[in-house]
Chain A
């Protein structure tokens, strides 16, 4: 699995890996989407842009996950998928942009799982491994 959930008594850890940082970020977002709602029940009818920035890849990971959580409320939508469209280091910080694919919330049809309050710096890890990148943080549930 490009992402996995980690045991935590009160919350949950979300770890994403990829040969490139872009993939790890993308798969982290996909892992988050799957926690909120069963993606199979959501149709990718509309797109929503998201962007995030951070001083380093770890802060960027947390900021991107939080930008996705904000998009759920701001657009009143659930999302099936996410693609990362830009990752760049600008001066002293990192910027990521991407597109969420989903549709307006329909509580009759969408298999809602659980609300995630926020991605935190708890257990935050962003490291380059022999095979690529590993990102991890604790999500507040």
Chain B
């Protein structure tokens, strides 16, 4: 079946595939004609194609309303990246490894600084070198924090709070992290010894691939009220940090894949793709996986907290900028599964929301948001590429109604890593970016070629689609100055 045949245009920024075959709900994609055409043209494989993956998600038991894809959608494994699906436990809803991903609670933290662009002028190279030295990144790097098994268990239970307890960052940081950096349902006893051992030297490391620390300047403000609430102004320096739960999260995914496959068989769940192994949320297996994921999520919170501290150290060592001049604006993840209350068809329901490569984007008034932002809505952090803008957006009421309060998480890949590697030699990319005033430091050449700006969709366009659809609104555009990669 060709996925494109069944696509129905709802409005200029939303397409729908009505339920067919074993789909319980429709699949909906936030795309315009151009991004839909690009998505269809760029598919590197008929088999792992994002639209088919979204249709497969719509076949899972207990899914509510629709399987959704944001404008940055591209193929993943099981779920498409940019996917959102909410499940009702009362309707046999499930929890799925593929809906979270192996990099559990991978996310972005944005730090705002008291610095302006002119404060950095002429010192960019020095800062880049210091960041490169201070922040462990790339395959094989280890963190300065070496934890005992007992301490690892505390990381898994207490998340960012434990990192603050150890002296990494400040109490105020926690206020501006989703869930205050600590999920209470975490249970270290359902996380394997191997997972914990792999993590012992990896807390406070960035990783590689699309993970980065980027120093950026605010070059455009679109929404004065939200920008004021978020403490943003034009010319200000901000820092974005993108990483996840490192080896611990990867191992939890690895351990629970066969575990949930057995559960899938036990409960007689029909799945259209083996990667979609899952268990009913309220089954013992589903509950166990959920508690393991929460532990993995806490590890990611702690990791970003330690990295925040290292960023502050780099600014101090490189430029003598005091720690207090760098504050957490917000941290939000994009590989998550969480209990949330949403109104569906006029009824408030407690749903388990999976976000795979999509960001929670709550509108105004939600109790989960820090008081300072509650009246305007949640900051939504959208990472661009090394050579293009990133965005800070804000969640809307309409997003709450349509997408379970979810928006895009990045530009979204358009070319495969292998294509990018062939097409963009690392040296050429570094030189081109240097001419644009962007300094890149990377531990591995592959991270530069594979993450070259040309390998991604046009971030301006995907942001425009989501904003025109009314799911989010622009607050600020950020332009890269220094990019540190693994």
Contact = CB atoms under 8 A, between A and B. Distances in A.
A141 B77 CA distance: 11
Contacts of B250: 69, 117-118, 140
Interface in A57-89: 58-59, 62-63, 66, 69-70, 73-74, 76, 78
Interface residues of B, number: 54
B198 A122 contact: no
Contacts of A76: 140, 142, 201
Interface residues of A, number: 42
Contacts of A1: none
Contact of A37 (B103, B139, B141, B443): B139
B77 A121 contact: yes
Contact of A140 (B77, B247, B418): B77
Contact of A70 (B201, B251, B418, B446): B251
Contacts of A124: 274-275
A121 B44 CA distance: 18
A40 interface: no
A11 B140 contact: no
B103 A117 contact: yes
Contacts of A70: 194, 198, 247, 251, 254
A74 B261 contact: no
A100 B372 CA distance: 54
B408 to A, nearest CB: 14
Contact of A121 (B194, B207, B247, B257): B257
Nearest to A77: B140
Interface stretch (B6-14, B173-181, B221-229, B409-417): B409-417
Interface in A102-141: 105, 107, 110, 112-115, 117-124, 138, 140-141
Contact of B418 (A7, A69, A118): A7
Contacts of A74: 194, 197-198
A55 B208 CA distance: 32
B331 interface: no
Interface in B413-451: 413-419, 443-447, 450
Contact of A123 (B48, B81, B414): B48
Contacts of A7: 44-45, 416, 418-419
Contacts of A12: 416-418
Given A10-B76, A120-B257, A105 B418 contact: no
A122 B444 contact: no
Q: Which among A5, A58, A69, A123 has the highest number of chain B CB atoms within 10 Å?
A: A123
Given A55-B261, A78-B140, A107-B140, A122 B418 contact: no
A44 interface: no
A62 B257 contact: yes
Interface of A: 5-13, 36-37, 54-55, 58-59, 62-63, 66, 69-70, 73-74, 76, 78, 105, 107, 110, 112-115, 117-124, 138, 140-141
Interface in B23-55: 42, 44-45, 47-48
B138 interface: yes
A121 B78 contact: yes
A122 B261 CA distance: 13
**Taking each of A10, A13, A63, which has the highest tally of chain B beta carbons within 10 Å of its own beta carbon?**
A10
B275 A120 contact: yes
A10 to B, nearest CB: 5
A71 B444 CA distance: 21
B444 A113 contact: yes
Nearest to A93: B258
Interface string B115-134: 00000000000000000000
Interface in B134-167: 138-142
A32 B170 CA distance: 40
Given A121-B78, A122-B78, A59 B258 contact: yes
A9 B251 contact: no
B362 interface: no
A95 to B, nearest CB: 13
B202 interface: yes
Interface in B233-265: 247, 250-251, 253-254, 257-258, 261
Given A73-B201, A141-B417, 12 more contacts: A6-B45, A8-B416, A9-B75, A59-B261, A63-B258, A76-B142, A107-B443, A114-B139, A117-B102, A121-B275, A123-B48, A140-B253
A112 B103 CA distance: 20
Given A107-B140, A115-B207, A140-B101, A9 B77 contact: no
A138 B209 contact: no
Nearest to B200: A73
B286 interface: no
A55 B209 CA distance: 31
B253 A118 contact: yes
A120 B207 contact: no
A118 B103 CA distance: 9
